[in-house]
Structure 1
Amino acid sequence: MKKAVFLDRDGVINEVLTRRVKFVNNPKDFHLMKGVGTSIKLLNDAGILVFVVTNQGGVGLGYLKETMLQSIHEKMKKDLLKYNATLDDIAYCAHKPNQGCLCRKPEANMLLQLAEKYHIDLPLSIMVGDREPDIKAGKKAGCKTILVHQRTSDCFGADASFPSLHDAIPWILEQMIEA
């Protein structure tokens, strides 16, 4: 069984609700957060699988088409390649919020399906997110969890909290190497 890091997209990998961008509905709105490229490269170099698990309700709500979402993900992969960083897979839920699907976080289906597909040992893996639904999904899947957030003192029960993915990398690597 393999170890993995599951990353939420908006707010962990790329900017959202910043001065530069409100929502990412077009590739031109996609901007990597500082340190993300080198952080994912460090995970790659450590032999840890890296997955993106993201709610993209804007598709279900009609703010963007699934083809545009694919273009955004292609830009994300291209931007990460500038750091020689790669993602092993991307899972997304395109359903509307409150639609009751099993794939939308805080449900764990995206993580569980990736774990089955790639033979991931979930208790030895980590979910990194910036909101409570991310932490709940990670917990439901049986992962350790990290909250990446600068504006809250509530960790929503996460195992650890850091201001950014970059700041979380030493803790992640320590957990992964010990396990």
Structure 2
Amino acid sequence: MPLKLVILDRDGTINRASDEFVKSPEEWHPLPGALEAISRLNHAGFHVVLATNQSGLGRGLFDMAALNAVHAHMIKSLAAVGGRIDAIFYCPHTPDEGCGCRKPWPGLFGQIAERYGVSLEGVPCIGDSLRDMQAAEASGCIPHLVCTGRHPELLGQPLPAGFPASTRVHADLAACADHLLGAAALNTPRA
């Protein structure tokens, strides 16, 4: 049976984004319904993997201990509702470092494909920004934009130039999970 994988962005998708960066567990606040949405995906057999730009590391705004503390808090919060993140991939670089792992570049996605030994063709990728959608498309994923972060104005609107034509738009992570679970149910063979 093929691996059911979904790739999520973190800030603006699972938790509230901050222009000041999420630097501690106290600054990490889940978006309404997001943790429960991940739990529902897990219970439907999806492996949920995080791909997140964390340039606050490269900017010196927080260190690895702080990032690990934020992720430990997120994992504990998820466990409280029966959910889990299977792996976390992050880019620590600043935008001007020119690395290949910072979204919109697909480097993190290549790491995910290598770790799991799979093609990412057709894998859902959920994020809140143009760069998430561009990295998803460059990796063969299906881009799903949630309007809970950088682009709340796009719900029900035509996508601006630069967004992949295959981008699907959802109000939030819960609505996207509903969509994915509905599509999975349609593709499940009936006895």
Q: Note the C-alpha offset of 1:169.
A: 1.1
Task: Tell me, in whole angstroms, the C-alpha distance in 2 between the residues paired with 1:139 and 1:116.
Answer: 17
1-structure distance, mates of 2:33, 2:20? 20
Gaps of 5+ in 1: none
CA RMSD of aligned residues (A): 1.7
Q: Tell me by how many angstroms 1:119 deviates.
A: 2.7
One-letter identity of the residue aligned with 1:16: A
Whichever of the two has the greater Rg, that structure is: 2
Identify the residue that residue 78 of structure 2 maps to in structure 1.
Answer: 80
Aligned counterparts of 1:175 and 1:119: Cα–Cα separation in 2: 24
For residues 30-72 of structure 1, what are the alpha-carbon distances to aligned partners after superposition, in whole Å with 9 as ceiling and x for unaligned?
A: 0111111110111111111100100000110111112111111
Distance in 2 separating the partners of 1:2 and 1:30: 30
4+ residue segments displaced more than 4 Å:
none
Of 51-60 and 96-105, deviating more is 96-105
SS of 2:97's equivalent? coil
Question: C-alpha displacement at 1:23, in angstroms?
Answer: 2.6
1:102 aligns with 2:100: yes
- Look up the match of 1:166: 174
1:93-139 per-position Cα deviation (integer Å, ceiling 9, x unaligned) = 00111211011101111112112211334123111010001000100
Q: Does 1:112 align with 2:117?
A: no
SS at match of 2:125: strand
Whole-angstrom distance in 2 between the partners of 1:163 and 1:63: 31
Unaligned stretches of 5+ residues in structure 2: none
CA distance in 2, matches of 1:176, 1:102: 32
TM-score (norm 2): 0.86
Residue number in structure 1 paired with 2:10 = 9
Cα deviation, residue 22, structure 1: 4.7
Which whole-Å CA distance do the structure 2 matches of 1:176 and 1:98 have between them? 40
Q: Structure 2 residue aligned with 1:41, among 19, 39, 42?
A: 39
Q: SS of the counterpart of 2:81?
A: coil
Alpha-carbon distance in structure 2 between the residues aligned to 1:83 and 1:55: 25
1:143 aligns with 2:151: no
In 2, distance between residues paired with 1:128 and 1:97? Answer: 21
TM-score by length of 1: 0.91
Partner of 2:61: 63
Separation in 1, partners of 2:15, 2:123: 22
